[in-house]
Amino acid sequence: MQTNRPVDVQEFLNAHRFSSFQWLIFALCFCIVLLDGFDTAAIGYIAPSLISEWGLPKPALAPVLSAALFGLAGGALSPVRFRTASAENPFS
């Protein structure tokens, strides 16, 4: 009979190198995180130009700036809700 013994995570990680597949996943995740915040940063950067070019009052741009942040928060919380619901009954 095989016994389960605890694994020292630090020792395991030091003993094994990253494979090319793991580096690919790391690079893809990095690009996703990099591009995810780009729209929020871009609208914050060009907001003063939009206000002056389009002749808008400052409060008129508030829904656009808020929508980006609410979308970011909603997208971050959605997978947790779906995963929690499916974890309760894995056969549904």
Say what the pLDDT of residue 30 is: 93
Chain centroid offset of residue 73 CA: 9
**Model pLDDT, residue 36:** 77
**DSSP string for 61-73:** GHHHHHHHHHHHH
Whole-number Cα distances in Å, 7 to 3, 4, 10, 17, 87:
12, 9, 9, 17, 25
Domain residue spans of the chain: 9-88
Cβ burial of 61 (10 Å; 0-12, 13-18, 19+) is middle
pLDDT for 88 equals 58
pTM, full prediction = 0.48
Would you give per-residue pLDDT tens digits along the chain (92 residues)? 577 888 888 888 888 888 999 999 999 999 988 887 787 788 888 989 989 999 989 898 888 888 878 887 887 777 765 655 555 555 54
